[in-house]
Amino acid sequence: MGPPIDAAPHQGDDVENRRRAQRQSAVWIGLCHVRGDSPEMWRDCGVFDLSALGVGMDLRHPDAAELVGRSVSVRLPIGVALDMTLTGEVRNAKNGPDGIVRMGMEFEDVSDTERSIVDLLERDSFRWQRPDGPI
């Protein structure tokens, strides 16, 4: 895989040189599953930016360091009756307040159809919340 996709800039880094794809601000509330956790353990998560290659997101987890290198599936509503689940590798993660982890995830094995949907979401910067209500 290529260089990490960071969720937050590092001091002295040139953001444009670090990122391989343009990111679009987003506000999506979805569900996330960390590979290795119980299959029933889907956590609320919030996606705050999106690119064709990955997402920046927040989720509740006890230790950011445990997430780096693991696969996470993100289920996002793209309409009232349709969800899309994307899976990616956590490239970086940082502990935040109240047990929230801010992380950057690079997509894995995205189909052409999924890539087209991500491109549409990125271009039009749709903003969705889970149909069953906010976190």
Measuring CA to CA, which residue among 45, 47, 50 is closest to residue 60? 45
Enter the CATH code of domain 15-124: 2.40.10.220
As a whole number of angstroms, the distance between CA 112 and CA 109 comes to 10
3, 13 Cβ separation under 8 angstroms: no
Residue 119 is predicted with a pLDDT of: 72
Q: Give the closest residue to 103 by CA, choosing from 67, 75, 50, 74.
A: 67
Q: For residue range 73-87, what is the model confidence (pLDDT) as tens digits? A: 999 887 788 888 889
Q: What angle do CA 55, 79, 120 make, to 5 degrees?
A: 50
The pLDDT of residue 84: 82
pLDDT of residue 127: 47
Tell me 65's DSSP state. Answer: G
* Of 35-39, 67-71, 78-82, 106-110, the least confident: 78-82
Phi, psi of 18 (to 5 degrees): -75, -35
pLDDT at 4 (0 to 100): 40
Rg (CA), the chain: 14
Which pLDDT does position 93 carry in this prediction? 97
| CB-side neighbour CA atoms (13 Å) of 102 | 10
Question: β-pairing, 43-50 with 83-95?
Answer: unpaired
Six-digit token string for 47:
């996606």
pLDDT-above-90 percentage for the chain: 41
Instruction: Return the pLDDT at 122.
Output: 65
